[in-house]
């Protein structure tokens, strides 16, 4: 676990820190392969602005408690953390000195899979949620834009084995997305650790 090379994105009204080499390549490779093969990935139907469609990615949800996670009109029931997910969770918790209850896992199978503009502001996350987001597999570009000041936006490449920490007022003031890409790319796994108490 490499915690030294932290990059503060210095976003106005937000607190976002990127750790490009949080997990070394050997660990990141192992986690990627195991999670890709062992998680029971599902494609849910979601409803956004009254329209129902298949989510453009696969997901799974884990928690240390029974609390569900609701977004886009779906309610995710938690599985128990085990093996690699538990190891990843413990590593992040020790590094950040924060305990997480829950993890939403996303699998982007290729460049057609994506995650549209949103903020992680569901009420069960509380005010100013802390979200620790791990990337494994193919590199993807991640975008931020300010909710009201159109001149404020940025993007970064989320590397294999990296950690992106979003905290403070980030979710109140900014939106984020993982857009589609025309590049021929393979699977990317994203794990967002959250607190749902």
Site residues (CB under 6 A) for ligand AKG?
104, 106, 115, 120, 133, 142, 158, 176, 178, 190, 192
Helices of type H across the chain: 25-38, 83-96, 170-173
Which CB sits closer to ligand AKG, 13 or 56? 56
Most distant CA atoms of the chain, gap in Å = 45
Backbone angles phi, psi at 15, to 5 degrees: -140, 100
Nearer to ligand AKG, 115 or 173 (CB): 115
CB of 94 to ligand AKG, least distance (A): 22
Minimum distance, C-beta of residue 39 to ligand AKG, in the bound complex (Å): 14
Residue facing ligand AKG at closest CB distance: 190
Q: How far is the CB of 60 from ligand AKG (least distance, A)?
A: 12
Of the pair 96, 178, the CB lying nearest ligand AKG is at: 178
Per-residue buried b or exposed e for 138-160, using 16+ beta carbons within 10 Å of the residue's own CB = bebebebbbeeeeebeeebebbb
CA–CA dist 120, 174 (Å, integer): 10
> Minimum CB separation from ligand AKG for residue 90, in Å?
21
Q: Which residue has the tokens 């931020």?
A: 144
Comparing CB distances to ligand AKG, the nearer of 130 and 158 is: 158
- How far apart are CB 139 and ligand AKG at their closest, in Å? 11
Contact 50, 57 (CB under 8 A): no
Beta carbon nearer to ligand AKG, 44 or 120: 120
Q: How many residues belong to the chain? A: 197
Instruction: Give the Cα separation of 165 and 98 in Å (integer).
Output: 12
Least gap, CB of 184 to ligand AKG (angstroms): 19
**Six-digit token string for 38:** 């062992």
Nearer to ligand AKG among residue 60 and residue 96 (C-beta): 60
- Distance in angstroms (rounded) separating the CA atoms of residues 119 and 151: 18
């Amino acid at each position: 676990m490499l915690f030294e090379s932290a990059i503060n994105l210095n976003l106005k009204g937000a607190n976002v820190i990127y750790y490009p080499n949080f997990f070394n390549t050997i660990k990141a490779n192992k986690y990627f392969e195991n999670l890709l093969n062992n998680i029971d990935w599902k494609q849910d139907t979601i409803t956004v602005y009254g329209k129902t469609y298949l989510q453009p990615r696969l997901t799974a949800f884990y928690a240390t408690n029974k609390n569900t996670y609701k977004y886009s009109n779906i309610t995710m029931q938690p599985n128990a953390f085990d093996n690699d997910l538990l190891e990843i969770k413990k590593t992040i918790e020790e590094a950040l000195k924060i305990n997480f209850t829950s993890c939403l896992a996303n699998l982007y199978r290729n460049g057609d899979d994506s995650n549209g503009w949103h903020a992680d502001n569901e009420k069960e996350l509380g005010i100013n949620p802390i979200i620790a987001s791990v990337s494994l597999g193919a590199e993807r570009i991640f975008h931020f834009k300010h909710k009201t000041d159109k001149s404020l936006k940025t993007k970064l490449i989320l590397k294999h084995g990296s950690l992106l920490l979003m905290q403070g007022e980030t979710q109140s003031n900014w939106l984020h997305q993982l857009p589609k890409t025309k590049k021929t790319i393979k699977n990317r796994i994203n794990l967002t650790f959250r607190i749902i108490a």
